[in-house]
Amino acid sequence: MTRASEGMAGKSPRRVSIDLKTLGPAIALLLLCIIGFLLNPAFISEGNLTNLLTRSAFIGIIAVGATFVITAGGIDLSVGSMAAAIAGVMIIVMDNAVETLGSGVPTVLLGCGVAIILGIGAGWVNGALTTKGKIEAFIVTLGTMGIYRSLVTYFADGGTLSLNFEVRGTYRPVYYDSFLGLPFPVWVFIAVAICGWLLLNRTAFGRYCTAIGSNEAVAKYSAINVDRVKTLTYIIQGLCVSFATIIYVPRLGSASASTGVLWELEAIAAVIIGGTVLKGGYGRIGGTILGALILTTIGNILNFTDMISNYLNGTMQGLIIIVAVFLQRSDWKLGKSKKS
């Protein structure tokens, strides 16, 4: 016991030694960047890098929300459809508001407000159905995924919803303009990432998410309101989808049935590549962000080179996901065999 206390005292210079598992995604990203540079030096041009970051922002922001859901032992398959539905409703609301509010900032703000309310609402529905309705998250979000997707198709009447041209002009800078050299979406990404990191690692809420994902019964017996915390993770997810949609809409100014297709899988992949455990109990926001960057970088590199067809983007992403999880697994084993 005395040794234990000494061990504690000796620990005070906080552990700087980061194990391979935490460092893995960072090393992978670095390797990808080096490969990208070797294949085509234009990879590290400022234009390409900002483009890469901007494109990572959508998946990255959604994946930050997914990190909370997955850490607390849930899963949300509906995010891609949710983004499409929110984008669709946003556009309809803004188009209809032009007559009363004009095509200026108020209309855009109205659209953003609607997006945020919808995101929170959709997240709450997912959360309430899993906790109060006691239906498995996979089933609930599989259901809402289908619902949101079909809603956007219905709103667009099978075609495309387009934003009023003048509103598009007002809204455009949100995607295309920069601040201090970084595009606006990247700033949103950074802000969401920092908030997410603080929330998961420094607050009681984050600790509760981890505890619930680790063992729900223990969480319940530890005076944690399990249903509320779980519902909140889905609401955070919904909010993240809103943010991603808000910066996505000005990019194309339209929404259709193919908006946000497969985003849910990319978001989950980013989370898993980042080292978060799929069955819950352990989550890493930093890893998630690296995961999102890795996924976008792969696509970017394939665009830059002729060696591998761009059509094989999905293959490369799939391989990376499997390899990442495999490495994490063998790392677990290594850690264990040392002790037992």
Where on the chain is the footprint of another protein (CB under 8 A)?
A: 1, 3-5, 7-8, 11, 198, 202-204, 207-208, 210-211, 214-215, 217-225, 281, 338-340
Nearer to another protein, 122 or 224 (CB): 224
Min CB(214)–another protein separation in Å: 5
Distance CA 214, CA 241 (A): 25
Nearer CB in complex with another protein: 138/332: 332
Name all contacts of 28-34 with Cβ < 8 Å and 24+ positions apart.
Answer: 28/273, 28/290, 28/294, 28/320, 28/324, 29/290, 29/293, 29/294, 29/297, 32/294, 32/297, 32/298, 32/301, 33/297
CB of 132 to another protein, least distance (A): 14
**Closest alpha carbon to 35 in 288, 326, 294:** 294
CB of 216 to another protein, least distance (A): 10
54/185 Cα distance (integer angstroms): 6
Helix 184-202 vs helix 226-252: crossing angle, to nearest 10: 170
Q: Which is nearer to another protein, 153 or 225 (CB)?
A: 225
Smallest distance, Å, CB 224 to another protein?
A: 8
Strand-strand pairing, 254-256 and 182-183: unpaired
Rg (CA), the chain: 21
Is the Cβ of residue 198 or residue 312 nearer to another protein in the bound state?
Answer: 198
Question: Residue 141 CB, nearest distance to another protein (Å)?
Answer: 24
Q: Give the nearer residue to another protein in terms of CB position, either 31 or 228.
A: 228
